[in-house]
Amino acid sequence: MAQLTCEQKTAIREMVSKAVAEVKITDIHTHVYTPPFGGLLLWGVDELLTYHYLVAETMRWVDVPYEKFWAMPKREQADLIWRTLFLEHSPYSEACRGVLTALDSLGLDVSSRNLADYRAFFASQKVEDYVSRVFEIAGVESVVMTNDPFDDLERPVWLKGWERDPRFHAALRIDPLLNWWDTAASKLKAWGYRVDQQFGGETLAEVRRFLKEWAKRMDAKYMAVSLPYTFVFPDDSARTLLIRECILPVCGELGIPFALMIGVKRQINPELRLAGDAVGLGSVESVENLCAAYPDNKFLVTMLARENQHELCVAARKFRNLMIFGCWWFLNNPSLVDEITRMRFELLGASVIPQHSDARVFDQLLYKWPHSRKIIADALADKYIDLAVTGWKLTEAEIKCDVEGLFGGNFWGFVGSTQGH
């Protein structure tokens, strides 16, 4: 085994961090929107500060009654969060640090701690120009939105139609259909689909019609659902029936993956609203059952529990129709992203999508990617250095090619379409 000199190791590290710093990212799962979606597009310092991650962290310090907090205007909520997490305590949690990384990347003086100045900056921005600036600074080429036809604010925008922006792709999100069938069925009925809660008559065919119509309307890159940690496949539930008879046939016909985000323990503290969800140990076996029973379907999977990550990696070694993606939600923290990414590289090589941002506020692209780029680059460089110790000769082009795969190519290859189409 060759001993690498420090210079040789540094050279590899520099090649890797350059490739990772320069790669244009496809962000495969976000909750951001393009300006035509109006108020659904969240941006600016008050949105950054009232991100549900920071609400949860603030409520640990303050004894403000929850309903009193939610009754506050957003600006007042942001004031409380800024004071509590940034001024009265050191903001080194990942979500706090993120706000500061975003402000810094915009050239704002973070050391001033002057919230009024930050607000003045955002007030002077024109949203269309600001969106382009954020894409530029973050090095993000395009994002995949989370588009829910059951959302009363979002559906009218799709029905009216909007001028598509190639930087914003759509994903058909169907949580109500698979998690709250009875309510979803009555909505489908109201929209003219011949369905009934007991799956009588043409219900399954009508659900397929609904899925196809919306997937085409959105040009959806995949169909997605967030499933509780108790999710089991197969079982004798409406969810299993809908997956078998509707989701997978339509995904198969359209050639798009079914994305499963598994592991949420919903609303363990409902007074925290969006911040009230937690995590539970999910069933990787259910993922294995899906991949084995439906070899012609493609599955994009991310799991919320740290304890599911190893078993999920092993499952992906067994099924080529399974692509693992992202360090989701409570896993999107540097120490865990590092651990999970190294494990995935060691078990799956380059055939993984290491990260997504899950940005809810557009400006979050300005911190979630710089933070993840660094961790992924460090892990990757260590892998290449271990490789070089064997005498294997690496080229910059090969590293660049691998990196482009990890930050976009693997996704586009898996969804079966070339970049951006």
Residues in contact with ligand FIX by CB under 6 A are 146, 226, 261, 274, 329, 358, 360
> Could you tell me if 115 and 75 are in contact, meaning their C-beta atoms sit under 8 angstroms apart?
no
- 154 touches which of Zn ion, ligand FIX, none (CB within 5 to 8 A by kind)? none
- 2 touches which of Zn ion, ligand FIX, none (CB within 5 to 8 A by kind)? none
51 vs 42, 46, 161, 365, CA distance in Å? 10, 9, 29, 13
Q: Does 358 bind Zn ion (CB under 5 A)?
A: yes
The region, left, alpha or beta by phi > 0 then psi within -120 to 50, assigned to residue 349 is left
- 209 touches which of Zn ion, ligand FIX, none (CB within 5 to 8 A by kind)? none
Q: Which residue is nearest to ligand FIX (CB)?
A: 226
Q: Which residue has the tokens 């967030």?
A: 226
- Helix (H) or strand (E) run with residue 122 in it: helix 115-123
Which residue lies nearer to ligand FIX by CB, 384 or 411? 411
* Least distance (Å) between residue 170 CB and ligand FIX: 14
Number of residues forming the site for Zn ion (CB under 5 A): 1
Q: Does 148 bind Zn ion (CB under 5 A)?
A: no
Which residue lies nearer to ligand FIX by CB, 146 or 410? 146
- 274 touches which of ligand FIX, Zn ion, none (CB within 5 to 8 A by kind)? ligand FIX
One symbol per residue from 360 to 399: x for binding Zn ion (CB under 5 A), - otherwise; what is it? ----------------------------------------
Phi, psi of 233, rounded to the nearest 5 degrees: -135, 130
Half-sphere exposure in the Cβ direction for 339 (13 Å, CA): 11
- 329 touches which of Zn ion, ligand FIX, none (CB within 5 to 8 A by kind)? ligand FIX
Q: Does 206 bind Zn ion (CB under 5 A)?
A: no
101 vs 50, 137, 138, CA distance in Å? 16, 12, 11
- 226 touches which of Zn ion, ligand FIX, none (CB within 5 to 8 A by kind)? ligand FIX
List, in order, residues 6 or more apart from 300 with CB less than 8 Å away: 28, 222, 224, 257, 258, 259, 260, 323, 325, 353, 414
Which residue lies nearer to Zn ion by CB, 27 or 358? 358
Structural Rg of the chain based on CA atoms: 22
- 300 touches which of ligand FIX, Zn ion, none (CB within 5 to 8 A by kind)? none
Q: Which of 220, 218, 212 has its CA nearest to residue 253?
A: 212
Structure tokens at 256: 């798009």
* Least distance (Å) between residue 146 CB and ligand FIX: 6
> Could you tell me if 383 and 390 are in contact, meaning their C-beta atoms sit under 8 angstroms apart?
no
Which residue lies nearer to Zn ion by CB, 47 or 358? 358
Q: How far apart are CA 210 and CA 251, in angstroms?
A: 12
* Least distance (Å) between residue 140 CB and ligand FIX: 17
Which residue lies nearer to ligand FIX by CB, 222 or 384? 222
Which residue lies nearer to ligand FIX by CB, 282 or 409? 282
Binding residues for Zn ion (CB under 5 A): 358
